[in-house]
Amino acid sequence: MNDDVEWLRPDEVRAWLAVAGLLEALPAVLNSQLKNDAGVNHFEYMLLAGLSESPGRSSPTSEIAAFAAGSLSRVSHALTRMESRGWVERGPRGGPGGQSAVTLTDEGMEIVRRAAPGHVAQVRELVVDRLGREDALELGRLAGRVLEGANPAVHRMLMDRYPEQDVRPDDRD
């Protein structure tokens, strides 16, 4: 063993294994619901949902990759599949550098409409209702701190797209 490493204490091991288990278990549960409701996996849904929330339902490829927390290669493969199904269109963007853009089609928006109610219900059941709103928000803040170190680009995109608001834990939107 390397004596220079500060090994995890038993309580830290337990905390880490809970996080690691969550990172493995949650996507499988979400994938199952999304496949049943709309025939998409969680990664595809995140791409479609991100586009549905973008102005004009269009976004530079790099931004939608950050939204879905995927590499450009993985996003490109997923977009190729979704383009062949008629859910998205790719083309040049008129902005600086001529960045390529992805646009959600009406067919793609219909997939989001089919998938979203069940997805939101699943997220609410597994996270928000199980933890309570205040703890769910705290989990999001803590996950954001870890994400900032693990993937700064994704963290920046989330902070830009969803700035924190000053709300009391008992406020409802």
What tens digit of pLDDT does each residue of 94-141 get? 544 667 899 999 999 999 999 999 999 999 999 999 999 999 999 999
Confidence band of 6 (pLDDT split at 50, 70, 90): very high
CATH no., domain 36-161: 1.10.10.10
> Are the beta carbons of 68 and 161 closer than 8 angstroms?
no
Q: DSSP secondary-structure letter at 2?
A: -
pLDDT digits (tens, 9 = 90+) for 9-61: 999 999 999 999 999 999 999 999 999 999 999 999 999 999 999 999 999 99
- Residue 119 has which token pair? 């997805």
Residue 124 is encoded by which pair of tokens? 């609410």
| CA dist list (Å): 130 to 17, 65, 123, 125, 166 | 19, 29, 10, 6, 23
Domain residue spans in the chain? 36-161
pLDDT value for 92: 79
